[in-house]
Amino acid sequence: MNRSKSLAATSKSITAMARKRSSKTTLIFFLLLSLLAFLSFLPVFASLPSLPSYSHSHDLHFHLPRHQRLHRRQKISVRKFEIAEDKFWKDGKPFQIIGGDLHYFRVLPEYWEDRLLRAKALGLNTVQTYIPWNLHEPEAGKLVFEGIADLVSFLKLCQKLGLLVMLRAGPYICAEWDLGGFPAWLLSIHPDVRLRSSDPAYLQKVEGWWGVLLPKVAPLLYGNGGPIIMVQIENEFGSCGNDKAYLSHLVKLARGHLGEDIILYTTDGGSRETLEKGTIQGDGVFAAVDFTTGDNPWPIFKLQKQFNSPGKSPPLSSEFYTGWLTHWSEKMARTDADFTAAALEKIMLQNGSVVLYMAHGGTNFGFYNGANTGADESDYKPDLTSYDYDAPITESGDVDNAKFKAIRRVMGKFSSVSLPSVPPNNKKTGYGSIQLKRTAFLFDLLDEIDPLHIVEAESPTAMEYLNQMFGFVLYVSEYVAKTGGSKLVIPKVHDRAQVFISCSPEVNGGQVSYVGTLERWSNQAINLPNVKCVSSTSLFILVENMGRVNYGPYIFDRKGILSSVYVDGSVLKRWKMISIPFHNLNEVPKFNPVIQVASKFHKVSAGKKLEHKSVGVGGPSFYTGHFSIDTKTEVTDTYISLRGWGKGIAFVNEFNIGRYWPTSGPQCNLYIPAPILRQGENVLVIFELESPNPELMVDSVDQPDFTCGPGQASVHQNEDGKASASLLTPNPLGLRTF
């Protein structure tokens, strides 16, 4: 049905009902006078706590006949967002949600307003965002709500700009975010907690988190004068479990903190099975759906009605996919602009509400990218640093593209107000080539580390048990080599382990040799050569956490070496563990022994040439470079191109801009927003794991690049028929091998 005709019909019906009620005017007037007389005595009771503003109107509205409720909704004067007649109603008027996901934690705070204004120019009246628990509580009991984690400021900014908010409070969010938003310290609890369940140990932690979070957002609910119209419980729970007690407990917690009037909702795939498992019928929780872009939406919306109370099922696609995620070693996901816009219009033509996922993707800064798995947990697929998502507003905020224009054309047809003008793309600058210098080789630093900061144990210890949630762990042990060489087997390593060996310093100066790489997705035995050491041979295993699984049955994803280590069939004992956590998006490690020593080496290297224990130019090393921005020049966004480099992480002015891996691809360049930069000198530090660019050069450029790829990638079919790639790295480091 045409939307304008529907509203006209409703208006005529309301007018007719108003005439029927005219005979009651005198009685109602008398009652209002009595009520005003009573209210005049309220100061006497000023010391008593006031009732919530919504309770009286809510009860009165509930007891009115249906036709009077409709009339009341048109005359309502208080702020209220509700569901009735299979529609959303805002302040008594039918309302079509035209929304989009835009995550505050993937955009620097200095750019929040810029991105929200672009979302508004796209045609949105509502913003949907997740809340990642791990961003706000990186350590148990340590709460962070500043900087990029300043949720309240983001919500207030949405309101200032006239945007409503749908808040996805978790505690699980998925979102292609590390561990689905759960803090990794949950994985260090013994005995293991059962995530996303009614396990009392898990619920206790959730209660503590929501006991802090929900009171912060309660004043910003729509009924309290804020922008929040709906709050989501969990996320796509029907795809993973069937624990109704857990979901009901979350509803009880939310109601306890937020009150009865706020609309709570769930989101699940548009199938009967997922809706049966993931919805919370009987608790007054609205069930929304998501489905593949291009699917016929209306049979799915008809199914949605079966999981909502009568009259309580406005059609809502709470995740309308504008693009898709991309893993390392895959081609960049792209979807057709006209196809996407046409699918969107099919929903909106019949007054369906929709939330674009994503309106603007942003960036997985730091170590917060998530990962997926396939048939089993070894079929591991980590996400890129970029979360561009092929969304209409690109990673850097660009809107001059076909998809933005196509979606805006559709949005404009259904918007109740004229759309704002489209802002121009933000300026980007290529600041030229940056010459780097190798300032420290990882293994040069080990002798300088205080033994008090080294953990010793009989068996390898998982990263989380070392009180480290992100970054790298260096595992060190010794073995006695056989004459013909030995074989190393590590059944379970998460996620990528580079293996090195060396003799004692008396033999060859303690030079470190690379022997191979074990990857979670292609774990094979490694042959250890006989280096003819005088005594035992030192074994070094550098393990990288590449991002925890965020979706599916394998999200309980600890990192590091998670099994025994075997050399020639015997279990290797007596291990030393050295943490290398680095800065993350919202926290700085209390102490990082490797970085502390590396800083000292950097100062030394400025004055003289260092002798390194490695043979060749590769291996895990720190590289530092400087570039200047003229004080008379505007500081703008840029990208750094890592073409010619191997794999690692990059920091600009001590900000962790994320992982790079151009040999795997498709991402070649890392996005650097202008607020990270400054006029004058800027410092780039790279921790390169394999081989640097031979010229030790990085280029600052003015555009993204997703055309890198694995020149030595082998593509195989998983059991689900999808292709994935494993990078073959026989010796990418340039170190001596035997």
Report the alpha-carbon distance of residue 45 to residue 37 in Å, rounded. Answer: 15
CA 659 to chain CA centroid, nearest Å: 15
pLDDT band with cut points at 50, 70 and 90 for residue 710:
confident
The pLDDT of residue 260: 96
- Check residue 546 and report its DSSP letter: -
- Distance separating alpha carbons of residues 121 and 419, to the nearest angstrom: 6
Asked if residue 669 has pLDDT above 80, the reply is: yes
Examine the pLDDT at 6 and tell me if it is beyond 50: no
Residue 173 CA to residue 163 CA, distance in Å, equals 22
Assess whether pLDDT exceeds 50 at residue 217.
Answer: yes
User: Quick one: what percent of the chain has pLDDT higher than 90?
Assistant: 75
Read off the pLDDT of each residue in 82-105 and give the average, rounded to a whole number: 98
Predicted local distance difference test score (pLDDT) of residue 46: 29
* 223 neighbors 79 (Cβ within 8 angstroms): yes
**Predicted confidence (pLDDT) at residue 717 exceeds the cutoff of 50:** no
Which is higher by pLDDT, 706 or 53?
Answer: 706
Give the confidence band of 32 by pLDDT, cuts at 50, 70, 90. Answer: very low
Asked if the model's pLDDT at residue 485 lies above 60, the reply is yes
Q: What is the dihedral of CA 670, 672, 678, 680, to 10 degrees?
A: 30
**pLDDT value at 269 more than 70:** yes
Confidence grade of residue 594 (pLDDT, cut at 50, 70, 90): low
Q: Is the pLDDT of residue 732 over 50?
A: no
Query: How is the beta sheet containing 496-502 ordered, strand by strand?
Result: 455-457, 575-580, 472-479, 537-544, 496-502, 513-519
pLDDT score of 584: 87
* 221 bridge partner residues: 228
The token duo for 481 is: 């080599």
Query: In the 3-class helix/strand/coil scheme, how is 101-168 assigned residue by residue?
Result: EECHHHCCHHHHHHHHHHHHHHCCCEEEEECCHHHHCCECCECCCCHHHCHHHHHHHHHHCCCEEEEE
| Domain 432-437+591-605+618-701 identical in fold to domain 451-580 | yes
φ and ψ at 528, to 5 degrees? -100, 120
pTM comes to 0.85
Average pLDDT over residues 131-151: 97
The answer, yes or no, to whether residue 143 has pLDDT greater than 80, is yes
The domain 451-580 having CATH identifier 2.60.120.260: the answer here is yes
Pick from 44-58, 408-422, 547-561, 623-637: least confident: 44-58
Confidence grade of residue 614 (pLDDT, cut at 50, 70, 90): low
Q: What is the mean pLDDT of residues 382-402?
A: 98
CA distance 169 to 131: 5
* Residues ≥6 apart with Cβ < 8 Å to 62: none
Is the confidence at residue 92, as pLDDT, over 50?
A: yes
Q: What is the three-class DSSP state of 520?
A: coil
Q: In the structure, what pLDDT confidence band is assigned to residue 727 with cuts at 50, 70 and 90?
A: very low
Lowest mean pLDDT among 57-71, 173-187, 281-295, 335-349: 57-71
Whether the pLDDT of residue 468 is over 50: the answer is: yes
Q: Which sign does the torsion angle of CA 581, 185, 574, 545 carry? A: negative
pLDDT tens digits, one per residue of 556-585: 999 999 999 999 999 999 999 999 988 888
Residue 721 has pLDDT above 50, yes or no: no
Active site residues: 236, 319
Determine contact, residues 356/322, Cβ cutoff 8 Å. yes
Q: Are 169 and 131 in contact (CB under 8 A)?
A: yes
CA distance 345 to 48: 52
CA distances from 365 to 148, 407, 623, 688, 700 (A): 11, 27, 20, 17, 18
Q: Is the pLDDT of residue 552 over 90?
A: yes
So what's the pLDDT on residue 35? 35
Domain boundaries, the chain: 94-366+380-414, 432-437+591-605+618-701, 451-580
Q: Which residues contact residue 702 at a Cβ distance below 8 angstroms, ignoring those fewer than 6 apart?
A: 428, 429, 430, 638, 639
Report the sign of the C-alpha dihedral through residues 146, 395, 655, 427, in that order: negative
More confident residue, 46 or 312: 312
Distance CA 41, CA 295 (A): 60
Q: For domain 94-366+380-414, which architecture applies? A: Alpha-Beta Barrel (3.20)
Distance CA 528, CA 482 (A): 9
pLDDT at site 63: 39
**Once rounded to an integer, what is the mean pLDDT over residues 234-254?**
96
In this prediction, residue 445 carries a pLDDT of: 87
pLDDT digits (tens, 9 = 90+) for 437-451: 999 999 988 888 888
Instruction: Give the pLDDT of residue 613.
Output: 54
Mean pLDDT of 594-620: 54
432-437+591-605+618-701 placed in CATH 2.60.40.10: no
Provide DSSP, 358-418: EEE--B--TT-B-EEESSSTTSEEEBPSB--TT-SB-TT----SHHHHHHHHHHHHH-SSP
Mean pLDDT of the chain: 86
pLDDT at 60 over 70: no
**Residue 2 is encoded by which pair of tokens?**
């045409």
Q: Kindly indicate the confidence band of residue 309, based on its pLDDT and cuts at 50, 70 and 90.
A: very high
State residue 282's pLDDT score. 80
719 pLDDT above the threshold of 80: no
Confidence grade of residue 508 (pLDDT, cut at 50, 70, 90)? low
* 3-state SS assignment for residue 89: strand
Query: 530 falls in which pLDDT band (50, 70, 90)?
Result: confident
Radius of gyration in angstroms for the set of CA atoms belonging to the chain, rounded to a whole number: 29
Lowest mean pLDDT among 19-23, 160-164, 588-592: 19-23
Q: Encoding tokens for residue 73? A: 């909704």
Q: What is the pLDDT of residue 47?
A: 30
**pLDDT at residue number 603:** 52
Amino acid at the residue 262: I
> For residue 70, what pLDDT band results from cuts at 50, 70 and 90?
very low
pLDDT of residue 450: 83
CA-closest candidate to residue 391, choices 331, 330, 335: 335
The per-residue pLDDT for 670 is 98
Identify the DSSP state of 287: E
3-state SS, residue 222: helix
- Per-residue pLDDT tens for 321-341? 999 999 999 999 999 999 999
What is the rounded average pLDDT of the residues 471-495? 95
For the residues 136-153, what does the mean pLDDT come to?
97
Say yes or no to pLDDT of 645 above 50: yes
* Cα maximum dimension of the chain: 107
pLDDT for 30: 36
Cα(737)–Cα(730) distance, rounded to whole angstroms?
A: 10
Task: Tell me the average pLDDT across 205-210.
Answer: 98
How far, in Å, CA of 95 to CA of 686, rounded? 50
